[in-house]
Amino acid sequence: MEPTLRKQVLAETVGTFCLVFAGAGAIVVNNASEGTVSHVGIALTFGMVVMAMIYAIGSVSGAHINPAVTLAFTVAKRFPVNKLTPYIIAQFSGAILASLCLRAMFPEDKTLGATIPSGSISQTFLMEVVLTFMLMWVILCVSKGAKEEGITAALAIGGVVGLEAMMGGPISGASMNPARSLGPALVSLDLNVLWVYLLAPTLGALLAVPIYCAMQEGAQIPFGDDSSL
């Protein structure tokens, strides 16, 4: 039987919690341990936790764990509009809960693994747009309807997240996910550049939809109906 919306929302909450707790947590632990985790370790942590969440909840909610991904699936008509708001609320809630947990464990950490630009705002914005475009394009290619599930999706999507975090992390933090950035920024009370990480990943994910469409036979996305989840 198809999981109920309540179960899907719970899965998205828990999945996004795990993503932020492990990913942002790796940054916090790296700071607390004087670089023991390392940049490569942080990138691998993000890739592996995404891979694990696809295995764990892909068959339940589709393992979006990212508001930009859910919105792009909706625009592509592979995800029902009536589930968009509950999914996004769940994703933001999971990210905030994970950041609150990190704050309780590491009260001395100022940023809680927040995404912070190392260069200019324009450089960071463009980096986030391109990184999220690449991620969403791969997701559209390997997902079934609006579900990221199975070995192929887990390896491909987790691999892209890891390599993009490794490449783009030193410049923009490689967020690619508004929820991942909102949680640490909100709990650490540093909202100065949050708009970049809300807008740029969303734009990048939406840009992937028409490009994916243009690559398909007949220039059409294989739309799913409203029962695709």
Task: For 27-84, write each residue's pLDDT tens digit.
Answer: 999 999 999 999 999 999 999 999 999 999 999 999 999 999 999 999 999 999 999 9
Residues 6+ apart with CB under 8 A from 84: 70, 71, 74
3-class SS shares of the chain: helix, strand, coil, % to 5: 70, 0, 30
pLDDT at 39: 96
Domains along the chain with CATH numbers: 5-215 (1.20.1080.10)
How confident is the model over 11-39, as a mean pLDDT?
97
The CA distances from residue 15 to 90, 157, 167, 179, in Å, are: 9, 15, 24, 12
pTM given for the model? 0.92
Residue 223's pLDDT is 42
Give CA–CA dist 131/134, Å, rounded.
5
**pLDDT band at residue 217 under the 50/70/90 scheme:** low
Greatest alpha-carbon pair distance for the chain in Å reads 56
Q: What is the pLDDT of residue 219?
A: 43
Which residue, among 151, 180, 139, 140, has the nearest Cα to 59 in the 3D structure? Answer: 151
